[in-house]
Structure 1
Amino acid sequence: MKIIKQVGIIFLICWLGLVIEAALPFSFPASIIGMILLFVCLLFGILKIEHIQEKSDFLLSNMAFFFVPAGVSIINYLDLLKSSLLPILVICVASTFITFAVTAWSIRLTMRLMNRRKGS
């Protein structure tokens, strides 16, 4: 019964995201709206982590399974990917290095701020 309740909570939040998306005058992904709703509910104590812990652990441990359909559908666009292989590779490599650099910079900044707070 506990799992059914947790699935119901997650589906309710997803459904609310869909309702809000339909009501918005501009396009915005319902999945993002649902994640924001879940975050707000957890932040303000409307939901406790125990309410969705087991189901979310299950979904996270099986996340790779959910990428299979997207990976398989790439085969439909193989000719398009072949023609754009070099730009895609350059973008992937560049964005990886930019992500590494920004992460290192933000960690250094955070450490500096934490040390400054600790010192005062």
Structure 2
Amino acid sequence: MKIIKQVGIIFSICCISVLIEQYLPFAFPASVIGMILLFLLLLTGLLKIDHIREKSDFLLANMAFFFIPAGVNVINYLDILKVNWLPLLLICVFTTVITFAATAYSVRFTMYLLSRGKGGHHE
């Protein structure tokens, strides 16, 4: 019964986020709305992590499984990928470098803030 309740909570948040998406005057992904909604519910304490822990752990452990349909669907677009392989490769390399840099600077900034909060100095 506990698992059914957890699945119900997660799917309810997903359904609410889809409804919110439909009523927004601009395009915004329901999945992002759902993550924001879940974050706010956890932040305010209206939802406790124990209410969804087992099911969320299961979903995280099996996340790769959910990417299989998207990966298989790429086969439908091989002709487009063959024509545009160079721009796509450049975009992938460029965005990977930007992601690495943003992550590195975020970690550095977080370490700086933590060391400043403890009164120490970290370089």
TM beyond 0.5: yes
Partner residue, 2:41? 41
For residues 104 and 39 of structure 1, what CA distance do their matches in structure 2 show? 24
Counterpart check, 1:30 vs 2:30: yes
TM-score, length basis structure 2: 0.90
Partner residue, 1:63? 63
Measured against aligned partners, the alpha-carbon deviations of 1:70-101 in whole angstroms (never above 9, x if no partner) come to 01110010011011111111111121122112
Aligned residues: 120
For residues 96 and 55 of structure 1, what CA distance do their matches in structure 2 show? 31
For residues 26 and 105 of structure 1, what CA distance do their matches in structure 2 show? 32
Structure 2, unaligned stretches of length 5 or more? none
1:1-120 matches, cutoff 5 A: 1-119=1-119
For residues 46 and 34 of structure 1, what CA distance do their matches in structure 2 show? 15
Higher RCO (C-alpha 8 Å, min separation 6): 1
For residues 109 and 14 of structure 2, what CA distance do their matches in structure 1 show? 36
- Please state how far the C-alpha of 1:103 moved relative to its aligned partner: 1.5
Identity of aligned residues (%): 68
AA aligned opposite 2:108:
R
Over the aligned positions, Cα root-mean-square deviation in angstroms equals 1.3
Measured against aligned partners, the alpha-carbon deviations of 1:20-73 in whole angstroms (never above 9, x if no partner) come to 122222222212111111111100000100100111111111111111110111
SS in 1 for 2:22: helix
For residues 21 and 29 of structure 1, what CA distance do their matches in structure 2 show? 7
Measured against aligned partners, the alpha-carbon deviations of 1:1-24 in whole angstroms (never above 9, x if no partner) come to 000000111111111111212222
For residues 21 and 15 of structure 1, what CA distance do their matches in structure 2 show? 10
TM-score, length basis structure 1: 0.92
After superposing on structure 2, the runs of 4+ consecutive aligned residues of structure 1 that deviate more than 6 Å are none
For residues 68 and 93 of structure 1, what CA distance do their matches in structure 2 show? 23
Structure 1, unaligned stretches of length 5 or more? none
